[in-house]
Chains A and B, each alone.
Chain A
């Protein structure tokens, strides 16, 4: 039983956890936060306003901090030291930039393909 579990764990770790690791947290709010922080460091409310401005999406406090928590756990953004604990700013990490770059390239490819197909249709 234990051996069977270990085999399954190994399988899950190699296929589901690792291969799809990047996809798991790349949900829409996460992507929007990364895009916002790519411009510069911002605190929670700043991100919320920025996202509303450039994407027209109103992120609720629960959604925003759920995504921030996940992005911090992934190491794609990190909190900065601040004297005002109520307005702690966040900064995108190098790994976060790479993820954002890859995701944007993928989205760009999808958008271009879709637009091209729409033109020919």
Chain B
């Protein structure tokens, strides 16, 4: 015990030991050694290091090391994540009547797989998996986070990795993995995802086959000569690796934690060094941080809430074509958006939406700005239409009222759908009735709503937690600057006192 106490005593700053070390050792010889004495000496050493140590760098380094140790320890208490993974492969079936190059078949399979992925990882699909009673995922998070955020979190836990085909004609394959703290659930979720891929593929293939059959039945009736060929089987989806049972879980990013600990510890060390001369300075730092927090929180409360509603739409080529086996052309969402946007985002259309009686948007802005400017602001600031992948696009609208945000996105979804149908009709209006029907499909892409307009549950702006943190940091920084400036005054004063004492 005596050795431990001596060790703790050696942790006092060198300058202090030079002045009081001898008599302190004498005192330690007089007192009865115990754990209590050891704790008291250790606490005294730490306090003295903070209040007396003039070497900022040393103190900051010591605190950084302590921070790294604590953060490392915390990272060991974090729950492990278990990853289950599975590999699925898509093979396009060659068509005996219309042979295609291996590259074309490969492209078709890859597109088909990407399309399935978009469907299965859509908000609706993932929300259904999360809420499935047998799975009941993210239970704790669901108490405090909106479903939209939970879905986003699940998306980040799902990892889809495509294997680039080595040679032309190699089937498209992807590895799907899912990370979750519960080993059994990680596997069960992945099973569910793979099942959905397979089921979805079956449905899509069945639909294609029926279309194909109808098409050939029409042709056979018309010509009465050729027998109808058997419908193609569509793309084959194979599960190469079934969902694996996760083995050893993946822990948190310990290196990241230790780095954060070093950073935080270093910062605290600097702050402690700033407050080293008097204990009162620590209170000043805390008071400044609290003032910063209060000020920033008050400011953030003055900023009105903004909510965002989003919807995802996908463009697919028409399914009824003259030749159902022809490789469908890729539809570029960006290209199609360029065609649709001028109409949908035209000033007249946006004005119509703003002034709709049940929406009545930007009432305050309209009172002080011309409508034209309000429309411009809406277009540039609040409305965001971005392509998602190759053939889908996302519509997001930011507004202070969440219900109105959702209704506006619904308006846009309706607008895009109507525009698509109207354009197809306009192109097909000179055709015969039958031809018109076919041409209608030919002219207009199929526009599907993958994610309907969401009802935002929490505001996306302002991020009050972040603002409050910035406030704390600003308060600490301001106080540190003041104390750094004040240090020379304090030092001069301390020297004066010492001089007076010694004289």
A interface residues (Cβ-Cβ under 8 A, vs B): 5-6, 8-9, 12-13, 16-17, 20, 24, 43-45, 48, 60-66, 68-69, 72-75, 78, 85-88, 93
The verdict on A62 contacting B40 (CB below 8 Å), with A12-B284, A73-B497 known, is: yes
Q: Which residues on B sit within 8 Å (CB–CB) of A16?
A: 280, 284
B490 A66 Cβ-Cβ under 8 A: no
Q: Which residues on A sit within 8 Å (CB–CB) of B502?
A: 78
B339 in the interface, Cβ–Cβ < 8 Å?
A: no
B22 A86 Cβ-Cβ under 8 A: yes
Query: Which of these, A13, A48, A87, contacts B489 with CB under 8 Å?
Result: A13
Q: How far is the CA of A100 from the CA of B45 in the complex (A)?
A: 27
Q: How far is the CA of A20 from the CA of B283 in the complex (A)?
A: 13
Query: Which of these, B20, B36, B43, contacts A69 with CB under 8 Å?
Result: B20
The verdict on A61 contacting B284 (CB below 8 Å), with A8-B482, A12-B486, A69-B52 known, is: no
Where chain A touches its partner, the secondary structure class is: helix
A86 B41 Cβ-Cβ under 8 A: no
Q: Which residues on B sit within 8 Å (CB–CB) of A62?
A: 40-45, 47
- B 480-500 to A, binary, CB cutoff 8 A, 1 in contact else 0: 011001100110011001101
The verdict on A61 contacting B41 (CB below 8 Å), with A5-B481, A24-B280 known, is: yes
A61 B31 Cβ-Cβ under 8 A: yes
Q: Which residues on B sit within 8 Å (CB–CB) of A72?
A: 501
Q: How far is the CA of A66 from the CA of B20 in the complex (A)?
A: 10
B24 in the interface, Cβ–Cβ < 8 Å?
A: yes
Q: Which residues on A sit within 8 Å (CB–CB) of B490?
A: 17
**The 10 A-B residue pairs with the shortest CB-CB distance in the complex, in nearest-first order:** A62-B44, A60-B40, A86-B26, A62-B40, A85-B22, A75-B501, A45-B30, A44-B27, A75-B497, A62-B41
Query: Which of these, B24, B478, B497, B501, contacts A61 with CB under 8 Å?
Result: B24
Q: How far is the CA of A60 from the CA of B37 in the complex (A)?
A: 6
The verdict on A12 contacting B27 (CB below 8 Å), with A62-B41, A69-B20 known, is: no
The verdict on A60 contacting B23 (CB below 8 Å), with A12-B284, A72-B501 known, is: no
B48 in the interface, Cβ–Cβ < 8 Å?
A: yes
- Distance to closest chain B CB from A94 (angstroms): 11
Q: Which residues on A sit within 8 Å (CB–CB) of B501?
A: 72, 75, 78, 93
Residue of B nearest to A43 (CB): B23
- Distance to closest chain A CB from B213 (angstroms): 79
The verdict on A61 contacting B485 (CB below 8 Å), with A44-B23, A69-B16 known, is: no
A60 B498 Cβ-Cβ under 8 A: no
A85 B23 Cβ-Cβ under 8 A: yes
A48 B280 Cβ-Cβ under 8 A: no
Q: How far is the CA of A78 from the CA of B42 in the complex (A)?
A: 25
- B 10-50 to A, binary, CB cutoff 8 A, 1 in contact else 0: 00000010001011111111110000110111111101100
B44 A45 Cβ-Cβ under 8 A: no
B165 in the interface, Cβ–Cβ < 8 Å?
A: no
B494 A61 Cβ-Cβ under 8 A: no
A87 B498 Cβ-Cβ under 8 A: no
